[in-house]
């Protein structure tokens, strides 16, 4: 999640920032972050005016068959509620202040089972030390600050100015600083350094972490509070293996799965991506090889490879790379162009309905563009898959399936690029329907063959 725009949190912050309120207020089992009101505004979520697919709770696999891979798409408010619920579930067992539990869970990447296992292994002091918090079950030896009168001045060890002791506050570690220095310190950590869950006490050599209650109490600027809220929520998502931000620009939704896997998920904004790696859904190539491919394509060393190819025997390797890279890029460019067909097709469908054609009769055009884009995407990634594939009998079958699908896709693309008039409609409609059905079938055959090869370990790879 790249920005915190679109979120507005309101906090109830009527506490007096004094020594008494800082040290004697009762512990609250509810996390302040969970008591805020979150308002979603201007998320910029849009669809292609009804032309994109349904955003559901199940993923689509080979040939777009429904699989038992269930997931949810969460809003920003639901993410926050989910985080608070995780804390409450743990606190039903360990019964700590919620802000302390949040720090413990963060340390274990929100793995509740792992935290519980460590919590009850008999070494609580070691656990709290690792998590950089003071064990709340033991009253801090440093809670009694000193016996000075609250009107008596004392120096702050950050700004070296004298203030009444009531103007000082701190954590359970016992280090006290004036509230102005605290506010400046927290603001710098949050805004300039982008730190949320790992802000430690400003005292030299102290690694005790600042809890959420302290941050909310000592920060008055709503923008700083908003940024802190964003950082905590973002950390919750980034660390949780069952959650993933939608990679689409300006989208603030999160996908929540029942178990992590390299499966396709679709956000409410229409973006379909691989839950495992976050890239666009890339069947039939696996995440490992796609990652290597992207790095290879982005690597400036290909320029030096070109020079080396003209003087050494590596020329054949470079030519092979260029062969697959060019076809990969060609399909990528075609896919971008064909996404624009949705607008053209929508206009054409509206025109046809004005000439006594029903809405159902013109849906074949939308279906054809859907299939065309699916085939382009699959073909694009088949060249990544093929680049790392060793030659054997199975790879020959794969290449034949690839060539067949590619030829059919180009024919379908040609049909859709025609100027479809009322007079030619019936003729072209039958051709388009026949061809997109054939493309669907060949795409399904190709993907099923690849996945069968994965299951039976039939593929051999070239290590690049």
Cα 293 to Cα 382: distance, rounded to the nearest angstrom: 12
Output b/e per residue, 359-370; b: 16+ Cβ within 10 A.
Answer: eeebebbbebbb
Contact 187, 221 (CB under 8 A): yes
Residue 415, pLDDT score: 87
Residues of the chain with CATH 3.30.40.10: 7-244
Strand partners, 60: 66
Give the residues of the chain that fall short of pLDDT 50: 1-66, 140-148
Contacts of 131 (CB under 8 A, 6+ apart): 103, 104, 107, 209
Give start-end residues of each CATH 1.20.120.1750 domain in the chain: 282-456
Give domain 282-456's CATH architecture. Up-down Bundle (1.20)
| Residue 27: DSSP 8-state | P
Identify the CATH class of 7-244: alpha beta
8 Å CB contact between 275 and 261:
yes
Is residue 83 within 8 Å of 38, Cβ to Cβ?
A: no
Largest CA distance in the chain: 97
Q: What is the pLDDT of residue 308?
A: 62
Q: How far apart are the first and last CA of the chain?
A: 32
pTM equals 0.73
pLDDT at position 412 is 92
Predicted local confidence at residue 389, as pLDDT: 94
CB 382 within 8 A of CB 375: no
């Amino acid at each position: 999640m790249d920005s915190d725009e679109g979120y507005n949190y309101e906090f109830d912050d009527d506490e007096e920032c004094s020594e008494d309120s800082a040290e004697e207020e009762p512990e609250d089992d509810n996390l302040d972050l969970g008591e805020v009101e979150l308002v979603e505004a201007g998320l910029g979520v849009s669809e292609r005016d009804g032309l994109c697919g349904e955003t559901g709770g199940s993923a689509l696999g080979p040939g777009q068959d429904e699989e038992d891979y269930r997931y949810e798409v969460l809003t920003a408010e639901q993410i926050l509620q989910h985080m608070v619920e995780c804390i409450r579930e743990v606190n039903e067992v360990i019964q700590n202040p919620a802000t302390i539990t949040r720090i413990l869970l963060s340390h274990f990447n929100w793995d509740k089972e792992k935290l519980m296992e460590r919590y009850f292994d008999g070494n609580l002091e070691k656990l709290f030390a690792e998590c950089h918090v003071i064990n709340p079950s033991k009253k801090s030896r440093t809670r009694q600050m000193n016996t000075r009168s609250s009107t008596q001045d004392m120096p702050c060890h950050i700004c070296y100015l004298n203030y009444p002791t009531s103007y000082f506050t701190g954590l359970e570690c016992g280090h006290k600083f004036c509230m102005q220095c605290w506010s400046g310190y927290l603001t710098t950590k949050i805004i300039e350094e982008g730190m949320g869950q790992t802000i430690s006490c400003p005292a030299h050599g102290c690694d005790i972490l600042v809890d959420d209650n302290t941050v909310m109490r000592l920060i008055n600027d709503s923008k700083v509070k908003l940024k802190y809220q964003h950082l905590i929520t973002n950390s919750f998502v980034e660390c949780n293996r069952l959650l993933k931000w939608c990679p689409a620009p300006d989208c603030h939704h999160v996908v929540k799965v029942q178990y992590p896997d390299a499966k396709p998920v679709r956000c409410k904004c229409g973006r379909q991506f691989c839950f495992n790696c976050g890239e666009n859904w890339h069947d039939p190539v696996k995440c490992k090889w796609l990652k290597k491919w992207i790095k290879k394509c982005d690597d400036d060393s290909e320029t030096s490879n070109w020079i080396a190819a003209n003087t050494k025997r590596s020329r054949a390797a470079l030519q092979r790379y260029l062969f697959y890279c060019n076809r990969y890029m060609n399909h990528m460019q075609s896919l971008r162009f064909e996404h624009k067909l949705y607008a053209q097709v929508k206009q054409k469908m509206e025109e046809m309905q004005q000439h006594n054609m029903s809405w159902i009769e013109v849906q074949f055009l939308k279906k054809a563009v859907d299939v065309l884009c699916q085939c382009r995407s699959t073909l694009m990634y088949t060249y990544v898959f093929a680049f790392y594939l060793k030659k054997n009998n199975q790879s020959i079958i794969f290449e034949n399936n690839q060539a067949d699908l590619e030829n059919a896709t180009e024919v379908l693309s040609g049909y859709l690029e025609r100027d479809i008039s009322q007079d030619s409609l019936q003729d072209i409609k039958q051709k388009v329907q026949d061809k997109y059905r054939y493309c669907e079938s060949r795409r399904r055959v190709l993907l099923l063959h690849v996945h069968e090869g994965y299951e039976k370990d039939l593929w051999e790879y070239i290590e690049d």
